[in-house]
Amino acid sequence: MTTNYRDPVQLAQALIRCRSVTPVEGGALTLLEDVLRPAGFTCHRLTMTEPGTPDVENLYARLGTGAPHLCFAGHTDVVPVGDESRWSRPPFSAEIADGVLYGRGAADMKGCIASFAVAALDYIQAGGLKRGSISFLITGDEEGVGVNGTVKVLEWM
């Protein structure tokens, strides 16, 4: 079955299946870049570093250059799963049971990223971006030490 990345549930499932345990990117940022770039977003992959901490990959994607500028911020990294045998469902399976999506990051925050990404893409496709810009600042360092993510991307900007 082909994944429809314009469906927020299917995009959330694809993101959950990425093993993006801090500080590993796990394919989640690559997936988002692959979804946003065809819609016209200019994507920047930024690896940030700080002595004594692991390097972290981040994604900044933007469509448009003017104001107003709406930026969605989020993270694709998740905390370690611990003993996977203690989970009622595999943490990276993105299984749906009784209408509930299960998996590491479903609520915090891969499901949220999928929702706002698809909403933005739908808005753009419907002709909604006539002025201004929309961007995504997605880090892989929210669940870790938190020094190689959002703050450094904002400084880069």
The residues carrying an active-site annotation are 77, 142
- Residue 154, both tokens: 């904002």
Q: DSSP code of 136?
A: E
Cβ-contact 141, 46 below 8 angstroms: no
Cβ-contact 142, 75 below 8 angstroms: yes
Cis peptide leading into residue 68 (ω within 30°): yes
CA dihedral sign, ordered 81, 87, 93, 95: negative
Query: Which residues lie closer than 8 Å to 144 by C-beta, 6 or more apart?
Result: 22, 23, 53, 54, 56, 77
- Compute the distance between CA of residue 75 and CA of residue 2 in angstroms, rounded to an integer: 25
